[in-house]
Structure 1
Amino acid sequence: MRVFLLLFLLFPIVELALLIKVGSAIGVLPTLLLVIGSAILGSVLLRVAGLATAWRAREKLARGELPEQEMLEGLTIALGGGLLLLPGFISDIFGVFCLIPFTRRLLVNKLRQRAAEQAMRQRAFADELARQTRPGSARPDAARPDAPRPNVIEGEYERRD
């Protein structure tokens, strides 16, 4: 959390320093035109790519499929367009990476992979917790009455064909 806070505070300073450096190298007017041009480009790309992704998601929904890839791509497109709207060159570079289809798909696939790994870790933790709280087993958490217990209904059944 502290690293994120440090980066959050450091990012505008680095952006401003780079804007000053570029402005002193190419001049104030070309730098302003670059910043305004990237904002306009970001809004246009955000609209075009966002609409294309929305249409793909709508087609998947019409086929009865879950448009998870399209939803994550739409989120990445929104992030990229927002970064292009921010003044500064570093945010523009990250915004372009979010809007290029190849890098956007790489980013989305990496995000899906990390989410799947996180779900597996949570599932393993929940399975271990259920194993520890199973009635009749040697419970290491027996001293803790507030330990979570699964909802289990025991019973018998008979199959009649």
Structure 2
Amino acid sequence: MKISFSKLLLLFIFVPFIELFILLRIADMTSPLTAFALIIFTGVVGAYFAKQQGRKVVEAINRDIAAGQMPADSLVNGVCVLVGGIMLLTPGILTDILGFALVLPLTRPLLATWLKIKFSGMIGSGNVRVYRTDGFYQTPQNNEPLDDDDIVIINEDEEE
């Protein structure tokens, strides 16, 4: 799955317009205050659920690590909760629906499974490469044997 710049540009242009259109329609059908209250309500409720589910994900990661297991599923759930929380804080109906779907434990497993399948396919096709580094501040290893002049042997049995 290759995402081009033009697709992202269209996404970032059209989604806000669609969100604005929906919010204006809600304001026309009810009142501007109702639309504003809806934005605030979904933001507050979404932040609460994201925080609650985020804590549960961190607990699951800690349990997996304590059991000596790789917390792969918990990490995917963590990404879903993080992205869902960001979407819930973004004003709009569509982003709120997708955000709640990512945050709530009833719908998150479906989206997490889809995400794992997509990511596995991307790795298999070579679109994702994994690199490893030992860090930025690694000291060079000296593999030369130690010089005997630097070794001090202390014998506790001898008296001074």
Query: TM-score scaled to structure 1, two decimals?
Result: 0.72
Number of equivalenced pairs: 123
- Please name the residue that 1:121 is paired with: 125
Once residues 16 and 119 of structure 2 are traced to their aligned partners in structure 1, the CA distance between those partners, rounded to angstroms, is 29
Instruction: Using the TM superposition, give the Cα deviation of residue 112 of structure 1 relative to its aligned residue in structure 2, in angstroms.
Output: 1.2
- Please name the residue that 1:39 is paired with: 43
Matched, 1:58 2:62: yes
Once residues 105 and 19 of structure 1 are traced to their aligned partners in structure 2, the CA distance between those partners, rounded to angstroms, is 29
Unaligned runs of 5+ in 2: 127-160
2:54–2:78 Cα contact (<8 Å) kept:
yes
Unaligned runs of 5+ in 1: 123-161
Once residues 42 and 124 of structure 2 are traced to their aligned partners in structure 1, the CA distance between those partners, rounded to angstroms, is 40
Instruction: Return the structure number with greater helix share.
Output: 1
| CA RMSD, 1 decimal | 1.5
Once residues 112 and 18 of structure 1 are traced to their aligned partners in structure 2, the CA distance between those partners, rounded to angstroms, is 31
Instruction: Using the TM superposition, give the Cα deviation of residue 118 of structure 1 relative to its aligned residue in structure 2, in angstroms.
Output: 2.5
Once residues 125 and 35 of structure 2 are traced to their aligned partners in structure 1, the CA distance between those partners, rounded to angstroms, is 47
1:42–1:82 Cα contact (<8 Å) kept:
no
Determine helix, strand or coil for the equivalent of 1:101.
coil
- Please name the residue that 2:135 is paired with: none
1:54-86: CA deviation from partner (whole Å, max 9, x where unpaired): 001100000111101111101101111111111
Which of 1 and 2 has greater Rg? 2
- Please name the residue that 2:31 is paired with: 27
